[in-house]
Amino acid sequence: MDMEAHLAATLLAEGGVDEERTLHLVAPKRSKGGTIMAATRLACCVTALSLAAPAWAQDPARGLALMRDSQKGNCSICHLVPGIGLPEDAQGNIGPSLAGVGARLSLAELHARITDARIGNPDTMMPPYGTTEGLVDVDPRYRGRPILTPGEIGDVAAYLSGLTEDAP
């Protein structure tokens, strides 16, 4: 899924259907008359709605399990993750602590950062969990497929959005 479609799906999931914002993100090219052809408009709305569906079914418990999974998220290798069930000294400090992240970032921002943190910080060390664009030297077993599905990203974002208190 490209970033524009991902952002459109997230906008729809958070704020309901907003055809104009969605069309702007999913199909920004307009004809000379300033309108998008009816078939394109319909296709864009259907696509955005189908992409938004997993976001409605977010499961924080599944998100936590994915964050613990060394084959999927493995978030604690780089981050301090409250509630993950590991002592602080067994967690990483390369990335920022995720304590209180739900109070600092919206669900859409969490979703976007998990999908591809390079959008906000091109120099980030965080791998893109929802895209394969721009990756090189990828293990052949993982080529051409993202680490997490859009639904899994929604689950992780749901867990993180619940982390609203800073670490003690």
Model confidence over 1-49: pLDDT tens digits?
A: 455 555 555 545 545 444 444 444 444 444 445 444 444 443 444 445 4
Q: Which residues of the chain carry a pLDDT beneath 50?
A: 1, 11, 14, 16-32, 34-47, 49-50, 52-56
Check residue 104 and give its pLDDT: 96
| CATH class for the domain made up of 60-161 | mainly alpha
Pinpoint the residues of the chain covered by CATH 1.10.760.10: 60-161
Region of 141 (left: φ > 0; alpha: ψ -120 to 50; beta: rest) is alpha
